[in-house]
Amino acid sequence: MAKDQGPLSGFRDMLSDQTLARQQVLDVIKHVYELYGFMPIKTPAIERFETLNGKYGEEATTLMYEFEDRGGRHLALRYDHTVPLARLMATYGQSLPNPYKRYVVGDVWRGESPQAGRYREFTQIDADIVGSDSYLADVEILVMMHDVFKALKLNVTIEVNDRRILDGLAELCGITDQHQFIKLIGVIDKVSKIGPDAVLQEIGADFGPEAKAHVAKILATDMSFDDALAIVNNSKAKDGISNLKSIFAAFEPLSLLDIKFKPAIARGLNYYTSTIFETIINEQPGIGSVCSGGRYDKLIGQLGGPNSPAIGTSIGLDRLMDVISLLSKVDLPDTKTQVYIANLDDKLNSERLKIAQILRAASIPTELYFKEAKLGKQLESISKLGVAKVIIYGQQELDKNVVVVRDLKNSSQAEVPVSELTRYFSN
């Protein structure tokens, strides 16, 4: 295929083996979300540019896919699901339950440089609680993410911080200008991408040696709340640490060892106000966070709605699938078809279709082999599709009102009355 006929860089076609695997993982995630009472919604792929602009930080604005439509409106493709949710709450919040728990699955677009685990079009699975400022809402989001990764059989570490500790750090560094604060957070947020040495070099160049020394202490690993408070001992940091102590105290009876405090977690998006977190796959830490989120208590009010507190989480499905594929943690199917009905005689097509409909009515995915061919050729083709069971049905079987079911995995076969077919496959 010519280069200009394939997908654009950072975009991908996906064949059925990939989409089936994604669907299987999505089903697990949605099941856990719904166990916690979250219900699905959908928002448009296109938003007004002014709705999105300024909500994510300077770098994000340069990554948005923005354009002007035929009506001269300045628009942009959805950058995440959080700002569209805030807009939705500003529009419909008065008529929705409080607190409001929703999840959404959909694509977002960012003009980043494509690399391993990073694409320009990718799917995010978000869940948010709007309307509660209780720390228990934060606890529930974090415990739910623990349950998601446990269900996916993935060994993770959920790293948690409070944005107010970073507010306190900025104050300690003498940074009072909001623009400079956002810049500081943006640099710290790059620590997983470029490493602590490069981050500290950039901090020193932009903010001076004193700020560099303070940030170096925060970047240390295995830090306790008291350790962090000894470094950033001001009212902002104290509020943040008090919040985290309440959250972690709630975890204690559950023995959730995969949720840890890490004050270097920054989350570069501008709208976060307190609790923030990221999730690292322990066997593949280099691929970056596969799930992140935090509390954004002011965003809905900024978009014209009520001042509703909110906290949310977001899973990057594409990066998650890359990790699952590398680790072979999930049994990824080639097909959902359980039964194939071979074609020995075109004259029996109506009877074969009738048998297929009996199985489909019992929720047993079934396909018909369309073209009459030698049985050996059909079995070879069906085996390549990953289907294990084949129904052989010719004139002899019609006369006896039975079918022959052949198992391609163990080469066994059985004669089954048509009236017993659904019971046979259900067992």
Q: Exposed (0-12), middle (13-18) or buried (19+): which is 397, by Cβ within 10 Å?
A: buried
Could you report the per-residue pLDDT of 157-189, keeping only the tens digit for each? 999 999 999 999 999 888 888 888 888 888 888
Residue bearing the bigger pLDDT, 187 or 341? 341
What is the CATH number that goes with domain 339-426? 3.40.50.800
Instruction: Answer yes or no: is pLDDT of 116 > 90.
Output: no
pLDDT of residue 287: 81
> How far apart, in whole angstroms, are the C-alpha atoms of residue 309 and residue 273?
10
Q: Are 287 and 185 in contact (CB under 8 A)?
A: no
Contacts of 264 (CB under 8 A, 6+ apart): 161, 188, 191, 218, 219
Top-level CATH class of 3-327?
A: alpha beta
Tokens 């507190």 correspond to 309
> How far apart, in whole angstroms, are the C-alpha atoms of residue 124 and residue 107?
6
Instruction: Grade residue 191 by pLDDT with cuts at 50, 70 and 90.
Output: confident
Could you report the per-residue pLDDT of 12-62, keeping only the tens digit for each? 998 888 888 899 999 999 999 999 999 999 999 999 999 998 887 777 788
The count of other CB atoms within 10 Å of the CB of residue 65 is: 16
- Going from N- to C-terminal start, the domains of the chain cover 3-327, 339-426
Could you report the per-residue pLDDT of 210-249, keeping only the tens digit for each? 888 888 888 876 789 999 999 998 999 999 999 999 999 9
Residue 357: closest CA among 343, 348, 370, 367: 367
